[in-house]
Structures are given as C-alpha cells and as structure tokens.
Chain A
Amino acid sequence: AQSVTQLGSHVSVSEGALVLLRCNYSSSVPPYLFWYVQYPNQGLQLLLKYTSAATLVKGINGFEAEFKKSETSFHLTKPSAHMSDAAEYFCAVSANPGGYQKVTFGTGTKLQVIP
C-alpha cells in the first residue's frame, strides 16, 4: 500500500521568497516519488521525480526536492518564488520509476505568490 500526505492545502509566499511545499509518503516497497504542477483547467506537468539515483533531485523551473528516507519526506523547494509559479502542486508515489502503473496522488497544495 502507498499514500502521500501534503501538509497545507494553501501556501502563500512573497515574490522572491523561498518556496517550501511539504510531502510525506508511506510505502510498503521502495517508493518512486513525483511532483507535478497543475495550472488552472490544465493537465499535470511533471516537475521532477525521484527514482533512487540521487536523493536531491533537480527539476524544471528551478524546483528541486530531497528524498529523506529517515523522515519519509520528499519536500519541494525553490529558492526564489516567481509570479508564474502560482499553481497547484501534487506530490505522488508509485511502485515504479516511470509512474506507468498505479500512481497515488496527494490532495494538492495551492501556491499563491504575492507581489
């Protein structure tokens, strides 16, 4: 069984400030973890994924996430928020690195960027 918990359904940051979106996972097998971004009325775009190669994963748009097994966490960060980062972010876990089988999504965190 697998699950993800995203802490905070809404996060607000000022433009230029650090972005931190939290995700904790639970998995009975070694997990593969993903972060997706969704803009209004659009599908999901993959930001980055952890596939056990490196614990610090760099993705698109300046985002990165660190896999911490001891904390069962995979938090998403960006050093400096941009207005275009305002969107909803989903953490997800899968039993395979391509995410091509059953993927379990978190409930999402809506990021607001304040000018």
Chain B
Amino acid sequence: GAVVSQHPSRVICKSGTSVKIECRSLDFQATTMFWYRQFPKQSLMLMATSNEGSKATYEQGVEKDKFLINHASLTLSTLTVTSAHPEDSSFYICSASGVVRGNTEAFFGQGTRLTVV
C-alpha cells in the first residue's frame, strides 16, 4: 500500500511552547488530509480535514487557533499545537487521501505521541 510518514513519532515539550507535526505522503499525491486525536483507551476523534491549498475544516469543539493546520502541497500537511498545555498531551494521527492504483483511498501515518510537561 501507499506510505504516509508522520514525524516526529514522539515529542516532549514544555507547557506554553508550540509543537509542529508533519504528515507526508511519500509515493502519492494527497489531495485531502485528515488529523485525528486519540485519548488513552479511546477511539480516534477527527479534528479537522484539509484540502491542498485551502483552509482546513475543523470539527465542532476543536479550536482552530490552537491547532493550526497547513496543507501547502500535495505531499505535506502540518499540524501545529500552539501554546501547548498538559491537557493537549495525546496521540495524534494523520491520514492522507489520494488516488492510488486508480482508486481514491486513505492511508494512516504512524502517529505522534505528544507529551506536554
């Protein structure tokens, strides 16, 4: 299947600082990317959907000024957690969608474990 690379896999940051997470589609063009958040022992919750070159669409309850999403190219989307606080500690997963072998499908990155201390 297609490869989606997410970086970093783990990050620890101090409260009040910002953290950037990258999501790259390595062998296909991702017209749409999705960002999910997973709390311990819970399922994935969609945070936002971004289309290349457009502003992201945020799910209800997700602060767009806190979770900045940029999808500037067909292979890269970034999620920046601004002024991070301990309650932002979570597992963040991206999903990239594009045409692979003639079909439009979505593939997940490996996830980023964010710990805010």
Which A residues lie at the B interface, using CB under 8 A? 9, 36, 41-46, 90, 96-100, 102-103, 105-108
Closest chain B residue to A99 by CB distance? Answer: B106
- In the assembled complex, B103 has its CB within 8 A of some CB on chain A: yes
Interface size class for chain B?
A: 20 to 34
User: Whole-angstrom distance between the alpha carbons of A99 and B111 in the complex?
Assistant: 18
Q: A102-B49, A103-B46, A107-B42 are in contact. Are A43 and B105 (CB under 8 A)?
A: no
Contact A100 B9 (CB under 8 A): no
User: Whole-angstrom distance between the alpha carbons of A105 and B9 in the complex?
Assistant: 22
Contact B106 A43 (CB under 8 A): no
* In the complex, chain B residues whose CB is within 8 Å of the CB of A102: 46, 49
- In the assembled complex, B1 has its CB within 8 A of some CB on chain A: yes
User: Whole-angstrom distance between the alpha carbons of A9 and B110 in the complex?
Assistant: 22
User: Whole-angstrom distance between the alpha carbons of A43 and B1 in the complex?
Assistant: 14
Contact B103 A43 (CB under 8 A): no
Contact A42 B111 (CB under 8 A): yes
Question: What's the dominant secondary structure at chain B's contact region?
Answer: strand
Shortest Cβ gap from B107 to chain A (Å): 8
Shortest Cβ gap from A11 to chain B (Å): 15
Shortest Cβ gap from B58 to chain A (Å): 13
* In the complex, chain A residues whose CB is within 8 Å of the CB of B104: 96, 98, 100
- The one of A41, A42, A43, A105 in contact with B43, judged by C-beta atoms closer than 8 angstroms, is A105
- In the assembled complex, B75 has its CB within 8 A of some CB on chain A: no
Contact A44 B32 (CB under 8 A): no
* In the complex, chain A residues whose CB is within 8 Å of the CB of B46: 102-103
- In the assembled complex, B77 has its CB within 8 A of some CB on chain A: no
Contact A98 B105 (CB under 8 A): yes
Q: A100-B105, A106-B43 are in contact. List 4 more A-B contacts (CB 8 A).
A: A42-B110, A43-B6, A98-B104, A102-B46
Q: A41-B9, A98-B105 are in contact. Are A90 and B44 (CB under 8 A)?
A: yes
* In the complex, chain B residues whose CB is within 8 Å of the CB of A46: 1, 107-108
User: Whole-angstrom distance between the alpha carbons of A41 and B9 in the complex?
Assistant: 8
